[in-house]
Amino acid sequence: MGTDKALMRGGVERLRQLAIQCHADRIVTLCGAKERERMFKGEVWADPLACDTLSDVIEWAFSLIEGDVQLICCDAFNLEKEGLQRLLSSGGGVPVDEEGNRQPLLANCPKEWTMRKSNGTVSSLFQDLESLDLGLLSRQMKNFNSPVD
C-alpha cells in the first residue's frame, strides 16, 4: 500500500480507542519487530524471534492470553463501534465481509474455544469457528490485504 497500514486512517490508535469505547477488558497490540514497540500506546508485544509467520505469532499470543479474544487487524479501516460491538456480542465466530469472504483477523474467539494447529495460514487457525453473517455490518468487516497476504 506504500505506507505502514498500522498508521493509516487513524491507525492502531483509532482501533484501540474503539476497543476502549466498547469496554474491552484488555487491549494488546502485536507490533511486529521490537523496534516498533514505541510506536504504540498501552500493552504492546513484539513478535518473538521464533515466530516466522503471522500464524505463528497468533498461536504464540493465544498461548499467553486467557479468556475471550477479539482480534482486530490494523487494516480494519471500515470497522466502527457498532460493528465491533456486534462482534463482541457474537459468542464467537469469523465475520464475513460484504463479498462473502471470511475475515479471520477479525475473529471473535470465546474462552472455551480451542485454536486449531496452523497449516501455515491464518485461516487454518480459525477454521472451526462458524462464519458470522452480520448483514449490513458486513461492510465493516473488510480488511485490506490481498488474498496472498
Strands 28-32 and 131-132: what pairing? unpaired
Structural domain boundaries of the chain? 5-141
Q: Which residues contact 17 (CB under 8 A, 6 or more apart)?
A: none
Which residues partner with 108 through β-bridges? 70, 93
pLDDT tens, 13-70? Answer: 999 999 999 999 999 999 999 999 999 999 999 999 999 999 999 999 999 999 999 9
Residue 54 grid cell: 503471522
What is the rounded radius of gyration, in angstroms, for the C-alpha atoms of the chain? 14
Q: Say what the pTM is.
A: 0.91
Residue in the block written with cell 449490513: 136
Q: What pLDDT is recorded for position 72? A: 96
Instruction: Let me know: does 70 contact 109? Beta carbons within 8 Å.
Output: yes
Q: What is the third-level CATH fold of 5-141?
A: Spore Coat Polysaccharide Biosynthesis Protein SpsA; Chain A (3.90.550)
Average confidence score pLDDT of the chain: 92
